[in-house]
Structure 1
């Protein structure tokens, strides 16, 4: 439902404090996003402490991405069917256990198992969005969801900054996982105490084949993207993974249209607003998420090679701090824009700003301060787009489908981000300085052009979403009772 539509007053459950609930949901989701990005700078230290090679330790990142791709839509579906608070608590408990396992173990296989559990935490965001839509007063829904969504962008940069500061403070690589465990444990306690959402589980049949084909397809695609640079994009293994992933995902769609109780309702996925928003999410992820890699690598390049600023890990992370300011500014703006013009136009505007960011970087990349400006602009575009997407989806899906719809959207953004990062890395690797394994400055300019071009496609996709402000289907009416709807999500 559009945030500007009139609806009967809908107070949340008794004794629910929206501000307190929002704070605990924000803490939980923010801690999870930070946890995922802060491992990047500590991989060398982790490899040393675990006595493994850098090639092996890179699996710490890969298995987390695989876990997120597989479990985000599955846990989102379970949340809508069994109760979002209940499934969010289980998710946070698993993430906390994963952090403890990664922090306390010196066996590489156990650390990887912990990272799999941590990767499940990406389902927390769509579950939190479902909780907000279910119990918050209508006037607070848009701004609250915008803030939660903004944390996706903020957390990525904050994780690198936090990691850099902790490394300066001589905190060990695995010691950082204890901090993650504490943060998610506090979030779990807060959800248990503060979220007043009486829930009634729906009867449902587990869609085993749907879950297996979706999980298998996503694992093949994400694994192929992330291991392509190491194994070779033209290797039989990578090509086989892509082919197998496409076959399994096609089989998943076939299964979901024929089983009585599907994991994901294909009728929902085929709705024009949902389809358009998901396409924009995929392109937005591909265009914007790879930018952080480009910026970090550029500023860390020693200036003696004709470009770059020789920034260390902490200084490079500080380059991303304006992203936080831009994203927070966007979170405030997007809620006001949604009330006035609906969520479609903030989404398109966010992608226009992202396109402008890359145009700026193509023209200006010789001074360090120019990258501070660029990350601020990127944060603004990211915050507008990420804040508008859940609100746009909520205009097209029933309340009992909120979490699964946002889970699929989040997964598509992540897969798009992996593809965008792979494209950027391939461009840089194909154009290196003579005798030095570093990209040329022209390689970066080309990568900025490509990322900007993808963002232009995202602008077009956003503009084509068939949404009209002030008009929505009755299926988008918010929950009218605090209890979970008895209707199935996986229908």
Structure 2
């Protein structure tokens, strides 16, 4: 069967796939403190269970988006889900830290499912259904992260820790079956040769940059290793950019990416990704701080994860609201409103971080703003790129969110490690450390608001490139509303 038989099932199936993939990004967070004892490894090695998913997700998301544009989005989506399932099974079968990191690398590479799903939605659905559908699909990145933490915490506290990886493998297999049954192959293709040198250059640049960002706090920001990676990213990135501008079929069309509408949307994605991730990182840790700190609540892992659940549910509810805002006033307005709500949420958190219900309320306000912003970003990107480049363009936009999250992780780790005091016989972050993070995140959200307000409001002139392959079925264009 296909989406032509079950047209209303396609979007829920793709959204479910996106949520499962997003859960993988935060799945091991509740388990991290226990990994050294469970695997006989060091805390630094355990940290790679999170770092490696950032690296592989960042590298493979734009690459697989481009591959999907050229060879079939559904085919690449299925391949990504198969890799996720294999990585989950690998983690479920081992307690060796090396194999666990390898399995997590495979899980992280499946992040491309979200931009691929957005591209399929644009190609397959009638115009009136595109905006609400891509709003839901885009929001799954935040929804999965918010829901994944409490679910993973429940599993860690009540079952063998391998259980959550077996569950991940089962969900991945279910995703594959649902896609085979419901989701059709997109009819659009971009011709040309695959840009292997451009892919390798992009991968090298991203790995060097993200390694420096995520490991700089542990290695030292002025250490030769960190500075060397930053220098490598700068040199290789410059050479890669020059090559991409000269090749006929580039991995990333930098001329399209340099358009103000695309460039500012990607900048906003980075900033919103930073602001969103601070909410997830700080909330769980803050409520788990012992009461001896004077501000901590001494909550369990499960309770700390449940603090994010209302925000995840709010994101589900608000994604269609964002779509209606984008349809009525334009996605620029929805993005600006979302960024403003995020900033307000962090200001609420700055002044109300003493009671559990107030912490949950502030975190939920931030999540509401995230839903509005995340839902608007794909619409902004797709207004400004040819229909045959939506996979690569949305992959790049998702990549920018991941880079923002990586930067946020580094900033949060640095602040919490350096603004400390002794409480209950151990070193702990001060309340001012958390308040400083809230101010930084609020400032980042305001910067995203500024980027949104600078976006051009007119309808961009976008035409399909000469390399577009003829198809038998025309894909609907995204309806403009600004």
Shift of 1:241: 1.1
Shift of 1:190: 1.2
- Give the direction of change, closer, same or farther, for the CA distance of 1:481–1:202 in structure 2 (3 Å limit): closer
Shift of 1:328: 2.0
Determine the C-alpha separation between the residues in 2 that align with 1:81 and 1:142. Answer: 24
Determine the C-alpha separation between the residues in 1 that align with 2:205 and 2:228. Answer: 12
Whether the 8 Å CA contact 1:98–1:116 is kept in 2: the answer is yes
How many residues align? The count is 470
Shift of 1:206: 2.5
1:323 partnered with 2:311: yes
Query: Where does residue 147 of structure 2 map in the other structure?
Result: 158
Query: Where does residue 199 of structure 2 map in the other structure?
Result: 211
Determine the C-alpha separation between the residues in 2 that align with 1:430 and 1:107. Answer: 32
Shift of 1:53: 2.0
1:275 partnered with 2:263: yes
1:132 partnered with 2:121: yes
Q: Deviations over 1:73-107 (max 9, x none)?
A: 10000001111011111111111111111211333
1:340 partnered with 2:328: yes
1:37 partnered with 2:43: no
Query: Where does residue 217 of structure 2 map in the other structure?
Result: 229
- Which region of structure 1 is more displaced relative to structure 2, 197-206 or 133-142? 197-206
Shift of 1:49: 3.5
> What is the aligned counterpart of 1:436 among 414, 422, 426?
426
Q: Could you say what the CA RMSD is over the residues aligned between the two structures, in angstroms?
A: 2.1
> What is the aligned counterpart of 2:40 among 51, 59, 73?
51
1:266 partnered with 2:254: yes
1:459 partnered with 2:449: yes
Task: Report the secondary structure of 2:173's partner residue.
Answer: helix
Whether the 8 Å CA contact 1:347–1:384 is kept in 2: the answer is yes
Shift of 1:203: 4.3
Q: Deviations over 1:274-315 (max 9, x none)?
A: 011011111111222122212222111112211021111100
Query: Where does residue 104 of structure 1 map in the other structure?
Result: 93
Shift of 1:198: 5.9
1:423 partnered with 2:411: yes
Q: Deviations over 1:109-161 (max 9, x none)?
A: 22222211111110000000000000011111111111111111111121111
- Give the direction of change, closer, same or farther, for the CA distance of 1:476–1:151 in structure 2 (3 Å limit): farther
Q: Deviations over 1:409-461 (max 9, x none)?
A: 11111111111221122122221113632111112112211111111111101
Determine the C-alpha separation between the residues in 1 that align with 2:5 and 2:35. Answer: 42
> What is the aligned counterpart of 1:67 among 48, 56, 67?
56
- Give the direction of change, closer, same or farther, for the CA distance of 1:115–1:320 in structure 2 (3 Å limit): same
Determine the C-alpha separation between the residues in 1 that align with 2:150 and 2:470. Answer: 42
Whether the 8 Å CA contact 1:325–1:376 is kept in 2: the answer is no
Determine the C-alpha separation between the residues in 1 that align with 2:452 and 2:250. Answer: 28
After superposition, where does 1:164-203 map in structure 2 within 5 Å? 164-170=153-159, 172-197=160-185, 199=187, 202-203=190-191
- Give the direction of change, closer, same or farther, for the CA distance of 1:272–1:132 in structure 2 (3 Å limit): same
Determine the C-alpha separation between the residues in 1 that align with 2:210 and 2:472. Answer: 37
Query: Where does residue 362 of structure 1 map in the other structure?
Result: 350
Query: Where does residue 478 of structure 2 map in the other structure?
Result: none
Determine the C-alpha separation between the residues in 2 that align with 1:277 and 1:322. Answer: 27
Shift of 1:392: 0.9
Whether the 8 Å CA contact 2:385–2:462 is kept in 1: the answer is no
Query: Where does residue 479 of structure 2 map in the other structure?
Result: none
- Give the direction of change, closer, same or farther, for the CA distance of 1:15–1:186 in structure 2 (3 Å limit): same
Shift of 1:48: 3.3
1:78 partnered with 2:67: yes
Shift of 1:174: 2.3
Shift of 1:36: 2.0
Shift of 1:372: 1.0
Whether the 8 Å CA contact 1:394–1:476 is kept in 2: the answer is no
Determine the C-alpha separation between the residues in 2 that align with 1:14 and 1:379. Answer: 31
Query: Where does residue 9 of structure 1 map in the other structure?
Result: none
Whether the 8 Å CA contact 2:198–2:250 is kept in 1: the answer is yes
Determine the C-alpha separation between the residues in 2 that align with 1:258 and 1:310. Answer: 57
Shift of 1:354: 0.5
> What is the aligned counterpart of 2:436 among 441, 446, 449?
446
1:253 partnered with 2:247: no
- Which region of structure 1 is more displaced relative to structure 2, 37-46 or 312-321? 37-46
1:390 partnered with 2:382: no
Determine the C-alpha separation between the residues in 2 that align with 1:76 and 1:309. Answer: 43
Task: Report the secondary structure of 2:384's partner residue.
Answer: coil
Consecutive unaligned residues of structure 1, counting only runs of 5 or more, are 1-12, 486-491
